[in-house]
Amino acid sequence: MAMEDSKLNEFVLRISALWNEQKRREVLYLEALKKDSMGPLRKMLTQGHFSALLCQKEILWMYDYFKCFLTDKDLINSPEVKSDNLAVLHNLEEKEEVAGVLKNAEEKILQSYRSLYKFMELDSETKRVIDEHLERISEFYEILSKMELVKKNGLVKSLAA
């Protein structure tokens, strides 16, 4: 079933924004991997980085499928992620703090994906890809939430003592 033009234009804009968020996610995970103190988180950070790359590839596929070739730009030529977005990670050394920053990024991306549900008259392949991304990113969100709680629970226990 075809979307009306205004709804299609909105969808294309949201997909473009989502690609940029996934690009930011990729860079955040890469920056976190560069930190020496990430030890036990390294495997999950590597998986998060790889997940962001795969999501970008599939989002690009959706974007290219739905975009108007006369008016919509290419995503690959989009400006790079602003370094001020990454500055928040530079001063953090505790893995729980880094997990909190990544968790917040994942939460924002999850909200962006959920906003696409009003377009779910889309073909089944697009819906399947969106659902898979939501499921995978939700897994990262849960892991990061637990990691962040380790620090908070440790603070609560030390304050109670």
pLDDT in tens, 48-96: 999 999 999 999 998 888 887 666 677 776 555 555 556 777 777 788 8
Q: Is the pTM of this model over 0.85?
A: no
Which sequence spans correspond to the domains of the chain?
A: 5-160
Cα–Cα distance for residue pair 77/79, rounded to 1 Å: 6
CATH of domain 5-160: 1.20.1260.10
DSSP 121: T
Give the model confidence (pLDDT) of 101-153 as tens digits.
899 999 999 999 999 888 766 567 888 899 999 999 999 999 999 988 776 55
List Cβ neighbours of 26 (8 Å cut-off, separation of 6 or more): 49, 52, 53, 56
Q: In 3-state terms, what secondary structure has residue 40?
A: helix
Mean pLDDT over each residue of the chain, to the nearest integer: 81
pLDDT greater at residue 157 or residue 34? 34
N-terminal to C-terminal alpha carbon distance within the chain: 62
Give the model confidence (pLDDT) of 140-152 as tens digits.
999 999 988 776 5
Hey, CA dihedral for 120, 124, 129, 133, is it positive or negative? Answer: positive
Total number of residues shown for the chain? 161
